[in-house]
Amino acid sequence: AYHWAQTNHHEVLAGRIVASLGAYWHRSGYDREARAWVASALAGAGSFGSLLEARIELAGGLAEWDRDLLAARAHLEKAAAAFRALEQQRHLAFLLAMSAGTHISDRDGYQSAMAQCDEAIELARRVGEKPLIAQALNVRGELARVHGEDDTARAAYEEGRDLAQSAGDRAHLGILLADLGYLAEHRGEHAEAHRLTRDGLRLCMSLGRRMVAACLVSHFAGPDLAMGRPERGALLVGASDQALQVIGVERYPGCLPEHARAVEGLLATLGPDEFGRLHSQGAGLSLEDAISLAFAAADMPESLQGMPDPPLAPPEDTFGDLRPADVRVRRRGTPLPAS
């Protein structure tokens, strides 16, 4: 549809397609394609309404998120300014949180990023969508965790987890559980870190979110190292690196400090040669085989074997398509809403 619209000079239709794909690219990969389509759409943005142009900028920010945080911030800030002027609070809440998240690891910008994230949380509470609030809380937790403030991060993650669980929002619940796993690892609760990561990965795979799963597979490396299984940790890091390369994305910025610490520990324990051999062996695994290895009960503490998935409430509509609330559903044959 996009290529037909481009070939037949339907720039507005092509722009709508690009805008609607932003969340898909952010959750599924194909970033190179996304960046090319966004650049092409923005080149013809003069004929778009301000809402559509803002949505394309949002898609651009999501496409850059894991590759170039400064480029992502430039897109997101343009989109946020437009949505603020349009009084689109739902979009603005999402954008403020995502833009704040581009300051992960930016120590000088931490306080202002947290203030911006708090504005996003307050807006999301006014909108009243639990998944939207959970997303903003997750960003607050990421900022605090990477900055070394684990208590602040835990409060944000746990509130986000409870909101996502009560809304039946598996997408955010899976990520929040895995992030809580990082904090459990910081506390030395390695079996708990393994359990939380496992539950998060299960939820992500139940949604078919292979990009998130590819990242989460390497989250087991830290607990595995601490529990005397560095070989399995190295295999899973190799599998994760290869899966992310195949999907065409980089590791999430918030995961980088923990990943670097785990790899450093594996190198110190195994030595570079053995780590390299196991990493290469792991890179030959399919993602499904890597997940099976991560879940292998034979090497798990007894407390982790046979644990059920966390309970979920019936699903609540989420903001995943990032479209205005009044145009989410369209009956066949009715015209497209105005941009």
Predicted pLDDT of residue 41: 87
Q: pLDDT category, 318, cuts 50, 70, 90?
A: very low
% of the chain at pLDDT higher than 70: 86
- Four-residue CA torsion sign, 323, 327, 329, 331: negative
pLDDT tens profile 237-271: 999 999 999 988 889 889 999 999 999 999 999 99
Predicted pLDDT of residue 328: 33
What distances in angstroms separate CA 43 from CA 36, 48, 78, 227, one per listed residue? Answer: 11, 11, 15, 53
What mean pLDDT is reported for the chain? 86
What is the Cα–Cα distance from 6 to 227, expressed in whole angstroms?
54
What average pLDDT does the segment 315-325 reach? 41
Q: Are 56 and 19 in contact (CB under 8 A)?
A: yes
Out of 5-9, 54-58, 251-255, 268-272, give the one with best mean pLDDT.
268-272
Radius of gyration, CA atoms only, the chain = 20
Q: pTM of the full predicted structure?
A: 0.84
Q: First vs last Cα of the chain: how many Å apart?
A: 18
Is the pLDDT score of 332 beyond 90? Answer: no
